[in-house]
Amino acid sequence: MSLIWLLIFFSAHVSQCVPEKPKRSALNQLTRTLLRKYDCGVRPVHDWTSVTTVSIDLILLSVLDVDGKTQSITTSIWYRQVWTDEFLVWDPEEFDGLNEISLSSDAIWIPDVIVTEFVDGGKSPPIPYIYVNSSGSVKNYRPMQVVLACSLEMYAFPFDKQNCSLTFRSWLHSVKEIDLALLRSAEDIANDKREFMNDGEWELQSIPSHYWHIHQDATDYAQIQFNVLIRRRPLLYVVGLLIPSIFLMLVDVTSFYLPLNSRTRIVFKVSILLGYTVFRVNITEELPSTAVRTPLIGVFFAVCMALLMLSLIKSMLVVKLLHHNDKDVKQMSLSACLLDRYGSGGQEVTASALTSIRTLDSVDPSDEYELETSLEEDLVSLNEDQKVPSGLDWLLQELASLRLALHQEDTENSAQDDWLELCLKLDRVLFWVYLLVLVLGRLLERGGANTAQSAALLVEDLVEDVVAMLLVAMLLVEDLNLKKPSSSSGRFSNATLVRLSDFLSAGYKKGVRPVKDWRTSTTVAIDLMVYSILNVDEKNQVLTTYVWYRQSWTDEFLVWNPEDFDEVKQVSIPTANVWVPDILINEFVDVGKSPDIPYVYVTHDGLVRNYKPIQVVTACTLNIYNFPFDVQKCSLTFQSWLHTIDDINITLMRSPEELREDKSVFMNQGEWELLHILSKYKSFSVDNDDYYAEMKFHVVIRRRPLFYTVNLLLPSIFLMVMDIVGFYLPPDSGERVSFKITLLLGYSVFLIIVSDTLPATAIGTPLIGVYFVVCMALLVISLTETVLIVRLVHKQDLQTPVPDWVKYVVLERAPVLFCIRRKHRLCSRLSSQGSDLDHYKDSSYGTTQCTLHHTCEIGQRLSQHEQESGLLRLGLPPRRDPTPPVMNNILQEVMAIRHFLEKRDRCREVAKEWLQVGYVLDVLLFRVYLVAVVTYSITLGTLWSVWQVA
């Protein structure tokens, strides 16, 4: 007996030491009790007319990305939703005081509340559990990263404000089944910034919210919209974009202080233009790439580049004016030509000439001497016939000729000074005009930014007013919709939806096509609405779209009599529990991230409606030859992958006309514009035995070219215009070659940088790529032409005379045929025609190369015999008596100076002829080049215009 009691005591002790099994715990018993016969596909209400109210809440954690090109925003949020499940109610006293329990989210009914603006799924951590309260209150809290479509206004960038909405609604259930409410008050949600990461680019201002009904397909749906109001912090862009641009503009303004004749201003300004072009192309990735409206800062950069062009053109104009008096061929005065032609004859010394000499000797250097008048008097006196030749007479003639030549040079220097003074005044005037335009541009930019900010503030005030007016209405709706959960002990006994679900699922086989007669074909009606164009990958020939897809068919096994089920005419059923047609997209190449819609609608007559948004990644033949004015036509072909037309047929839910023009849900603010959606039905056979039905939708979209026009075409056009203006520089100025080689370098860097922006394709090159290559080829041709002209102009250094055929073709025929204005020829200051001094030239002078070196030693090399023979040939009496050596030295020096000036005039004549040839050829080649550029531009412009209209 004692042994039995010992065993009983030992077993009791062991039972106290061994832990209780999980199935005996209160938590496990409560879970088994709640999920016993629980159908997660049935809306958890006892009375099917009762509305399930889902209270939602939103806390913004951070703004991850704002993409102006695709008009999308990526956010990280904390999302909370609470609703009442009438089938998950228990008495805590029956389960050891357990008041709250966590259940698997896959085991219970979850409302199909999604974000309407959803276009792509972010990386969110999975939360597999939810909390359930003893009163049936279900709490589903989870963090989410969502990519939303948003109409972004980038005009005021980087001082812009954005208003992006997150609209929550049930995708399938109407407001009579699922209603929405706010979990907190609208004021608390709007001002809650506790969890927002406030150190990034964007600053959260508020999150106003409002509730309303949307009418769609003859049904009202409840939705709550949260407006995320954010403002960009502009410091990064001000420091990285605006300040460098302003610095370059200030440097350009400072360049006006460079001397006009220093020949460095052109190089300085073209280097600034090159630097600004590279800077502008480099910052293209920093600017928001919107295709609808160019940001004001983009207009600012374009205007700054245009101002730099105007500044460079102004400097080139001033250099041209300065060069006009320096190297250009000008006509001499009549008096100089007459004196040079007739003033060297063998006339005798007259009294007037002697008087002129005495006058020159008696002139007071301190008095102002009228040089022009005295030269004319000397010309008249020297032309009078005299009978007594004298060496003093010839000396006077030589001195007068030399004085006229020197006076002519002085007159040209004076004219050059006048031109310089004129150019200085013009440069000063253009500088102030340029500065005024620059200041006005800055004021207009600031005014535009202020206007955009004022508009954003006005919209913000209106939104706040609307929120304030709807606040009372939302609170009333919330009070009306929040009902006290039922504590019925029967749980499922009086639930009409549960009875109907049991009735429909009894004996249902979802793998069997739902027809009673197997010969009956199941007709699936489909519909398509394009919501957004997410990506067009030209290299891989892939199109990513976000569409709203709808399909409906008749399930003969899902039919009931509404009178038997409390007049229930439609019910939502999990998609996994019913037969779904295997209709796929033929062009499908990748799985897109689409929101999960777990339910389908079924009416009492067996009509099944499966509506869902999907992200489709499809193959498409993309033709980018007309980029950026291209139109793409991509097809989405829906067909049953396995069933023939005898089993599954396809038709349209709407008429083709309605489908073609429907753009009601399309986000029209991105790079692509939806033109229309074409549809076509056909049946085909693979092996001429079984026929299949297919419905093909052709999505026709057109690219908006504004972004590429501003960032690719305009800089290229600016550089080409500057290359054409570069022909205005004189070919012998020495600045055109450096100017054009700098432009070619800048264009090369521009092409290297923009190569990433052009679409990549392995089939052909876009026309814009051909345009860039041809532009670069034109720049090379322009540079080559400039090098040839400069070489031709500087051929004077070799002192090769211009061939006769070149004179005839270039200087005589070409100006007449092509209406080229010839430059005036310059008559020699010391022409040897009509002068007896031609007989007094040493043979060595005629063969000596033209040089501008000092020739004072020439007279000393003349022998005595040559001097005497020269005097005899000049008509001067030979020296019978020794003349004063001073007189001989004076005559020798005067003749040496005259020879030097005559040789310089001959050198100049050769140079002027080559210069004239260079000018004519330069004008001729420039016209040919200009015609080629204009013809090419008109052709491209016409093609792009036709393609854009088409």
Q: What is the pLDDT of residue 257?
A: 79
Lowest-pLDDT range of 78-82, 93-97, 704-708, 909-913: 909-913
> Do 85 and 146 fall within a single domain?
yes
Rounded to an integer, the average pLDDT of 303-316 is 83
Task: Express each pLDDT in 134-156 by its tens digit.
Answer: 999 999 999 988 898 888 888 88
For the chain, the domain total comes to: 3
> Do 198 and 263 fall within a single domain?
no
Task: Express each pLDDT in 735-765 by its tens digit.
Answer: 788 888 888 888 888 888 777 777 876 566 7
> Do 667 and 775 fall within a single domain?
no
Asked whether residue 740 is assigned to any structural domain, the reply reads yes
Of the ranges 422-436, 476-490, 707-721, the best mean pLDDT one: 707-721
Q: What is the pLDDT of residue 120?
A: 81
Q: What is the pLDDT of residue 906?
A: 72
Q: What is the pLDDT of residue 863?
A: 45
Which residues span the domain enclosing 624? 520-703
Strand partners, 103: 130
Confidence of residue 929 (pLDDT cuts 50, 70, 90): confident
**Length of the chain in terms of residues written:** 950
Asked whether residue 470 is assigned to any structural domain, the reply reads no
Look at the block and give the residue holding tokens 């999302």. 79
> Do 763 and 685 fall within a single domain?
no
* DSSP states along 332-394: PPHHHHHHHHHTTS-PPP-HHHHHHHHHHHH--TTS---HHHHHHHHHHHHHS--SS--HHHH
Q: What is the CATH number of the domain that holds 68?
A: 2.70.170.10
How far apart CA 795 and CA 784 sit, in angstroms, is: 16
CB atoms within 10 A of CB 826: 16
Q: What is the pLDDT of residue 649?
A: 95
Residue 608: in which H helix or E strand, if any?
strand 607-619
* DSSP states along 842-872: -HHHHHSPP--S--TTHHHHS-HHHHHHHHH
How far apart CA 716 and CA 745 sit, in angstroms, is: 13
* DSSP states along 250-283: HHHHHGGGS-GGGS-HHHHHHHHHHHHHHHHHHT
Instruction: Decide which of 682, 703, 724 is a domain's last residue.
Output: 703
Phi, psi for 392 (deg, rounded to 5): -65, -30
Lowest-pLDDT range of 195-204, 378-387, 786-795: 378-387
Asked whether residue 17 is assigned to any structural domain, the reply reads no
- What is the percent of the chain with per-residue pLDDT over 70, rounded to a whole number? 70
3-class secondary structure, 110: coil
Rounded to an integer, the average pLDDT of 166-180 is 92
> Do 138 and 88 fall within a single domain?
yes
Confidence of residue 253 (pLDDT cuts 50, 70, 90): confident
Tokens of 268: 């300085």
How far apart CA 414 and CA 408 sit, in angstroms, is: 10
Pairing of strands 72-84, 137-149: antiparallel
Tokens of 700: 């026709």
Can you say whether the dihedral through the CA atoms of 778, 784, 787, 791 is positive or negative?
Answer: negative
> Do 63 and 157 fall within a single domain?
yes
Residue 245: in which H helix or E strand, if any?
helix 243-254
Q: What is the pLDDT of residue 177?
A: 92
Tokens of 799: 């002192």
> Do 65 and 202 fall within a single domain?
yes
Q: Mean pLDDT for the chain?
A: 75
Question: Is residue 694 a contact partner of residue 675, using CB atoms and an 8 Å limit?
Answer: no
Asked whether residue 461 is assigned to any structural domain, the reply reads no
Asked whether residue 78 is assigned to any structural domain, the reply reads yes
Cβ contacts of 803 within 8 Å, gap of 6 or more: none
Confidence of residue 320 (pLDDT cuts 50, 70, 90): confident
Tokens of 180: 């929405």
Give yes or no for residue 103 having a pLDDT over 70: yes
Q: CA separation (Å) from 379 to 77, 335, 351, 376, 872?
A: 100, 8, 13, 5, 25
Cβ contacts of 612 within 8 Å, gap of 6 or more: 171, 548, 549, 550, 594, 595, 597
> Do 168 and 82 fall within a single domain?
yes
How far apart CA 599 and CA 571 sit, in angstroms, is: 10
CA dihedral 260, 263, 265, 271 (to 10 degrees): 170
How far apart CA 209 and CA 822 sit, in angstroms, is: 78
> Do 745 and 713 fall within a single domain?
yes
Q: Which long-range contacts (CB under 8 A, 24 or more apart) does 816-823 make?
A: 818/923, 818/924, 818/927, 820/920, 820/923, 820/924, 822/916, 822/920, 823/328, 823/329, 823/915, 823/916, 823/919
> Do 598 and 541 fall within a single domain?
yes
Asked whether residue 681 is assigned to any structural domain, the reply reads yes
Task: Express each pLDDT in 508-535 by its tens digit.
Answer: 998 899 999 988 999 999 999 999 998 8
Instruction: Decide which of 741, 761, 795 is a domain's last residue.
Output: 795
How far apart CA 773 and CA 168 sit, in angstroms, is: 51
For the chain, how big is the Rg over CA atoms in Å?
48
Can you say whether the dihedral through the CA atoms of 467, 470, 472, 477 is positive or negative?
Answer: negative
> Quick one: which of 524, 317, 560 has its CA closest to 422?
317
Rounded to an integer, the average pLDDT of 419-423 is 65
Asked whether residue 373 is assigned to any structural domain, the reply reads no
> Do 679 and 727 fall within a single domain?
no
Phi, psi for 75 (deg, rounded to 5): -130, 155
Confidence of residue 391 (pLDDT cuts 50, 70, 90): low
Instruction: Decide which of 210, 232, 254 is a domain's last residue.
Output: 232
How far apart CA 221 and CA 180 sit, in angstroms, is: 10
> Do 695 and 779 fall within a single domain?
no
Asked whether residue 504 is assigned to any structural domain, the reply reads no
